[in-house]
């Protein structure tokens, strides 16, 4: 229940954020600039399938949330990502927006970066190219990602992999 509450709070945060990165009206402070650069480095590490850079970027206390299947708690993000790198090729993020946000008080106090992107890759086992709309709020402390919550439409991904939804025959 604790994790569901945290997930609900993060979703509320996403919905209530105001856009600052693309307005051009306000210069980002130094911490926000560094945090945006960290997320760009995170994107590049995924595209290069560079697990060592991810080890540098993630805090050893990382909490990772999202609709990963077969998830056990605590979720081992680095091992899962490394396994995913072995099963895919040609990872590409088409970044739509990266928004830094500092929350001054409350349960979500801290520095955050929200990223929206279209994520595509080639799945080796199914021999198919996959593409999903993906977004993630990430909390950053002392130059490391401490919380990552990734969201995407799982059913869309499953359909691309060939899954079909079949309803049982109705017995009368």
Indicate which CATH number applies to the domain containing 7.
3.10.450.50
Where do we find the tokens 């560094």? 34
Is 166 among the domain residues? no
Is 171 among the domain residues? no
Is 169 among the domain residues? no
- Domain containing 65 equals 2-160
Is 142 among the domain residues? yes
Give pLDDT tens digits for 129-153.
Answer: 999 999 999 999 999 999 999 898 8
Per-residue pLDDT at 8: 58
Per-residue pLDDT at 28: 81
Residues of the chain with pLDDT under 70: 1-26, 68-75, 172
Per-residue pLDDT at 3: 60
Which residues face 149 on adjacent strands?
Answer: 65
Distance between CA atoms of 126 and 54, rounded to whole angstroms? 26
Compute how many other C-beta atoms are within 10 angstroms of the C-beta atom of residue 26: 9
Is 74 among the domain residues? yes
**Cα 125 to the center of its chain, rounded Å:** 23
Answer whether the bond into residue 74 is a cis peptide, omega within 30°: yes
Is 170 among the domain residues? no
Per-residue pLDDT at 154: 84
Which residues face 148 on adjacent strands?
Answer: 64, 138
Is 46 among the domain residues? yes
Quick one: which of 87, 98, 100, 91 has its CA closest to 45? Answer: 91
């Amino acid at each position: 229940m604790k994790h569901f509450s945290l997930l609900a709070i993060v979703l509320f945060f996403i919905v209530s954020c105001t856009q600052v990165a693309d307005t051009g009206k306000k210069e980002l402070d130094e911490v926000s600039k560094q945090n945006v650069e960290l997320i760009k480095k995170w994107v590049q590490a995924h595209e290069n399938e560079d697990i060592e850079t991810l080890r540098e970027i993630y805090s050893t206390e990382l909490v990772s949330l999202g609709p990963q299947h077969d998830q056990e708690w605590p979720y081992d993000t680095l091992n899962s990502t490394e396994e995913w790198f072995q099963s895919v090729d040609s990872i590409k993020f088409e970044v739509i927006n990266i928004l830094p946000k500092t929350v001054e008080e409350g349960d979500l106090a801290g520095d955050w970066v929200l990223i929206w992107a279209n994520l595509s890759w080639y799945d080796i086992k199914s021999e198919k190219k996959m593409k999903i709309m993906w977004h993630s709020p990430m909390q950053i402390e002392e130059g490391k990602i401490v919380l990552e919550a990734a969201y995407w439409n799982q059913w869309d991904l499953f359909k691309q992999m060939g899954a079909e939804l079949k309803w049982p025959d109705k017995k009368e």
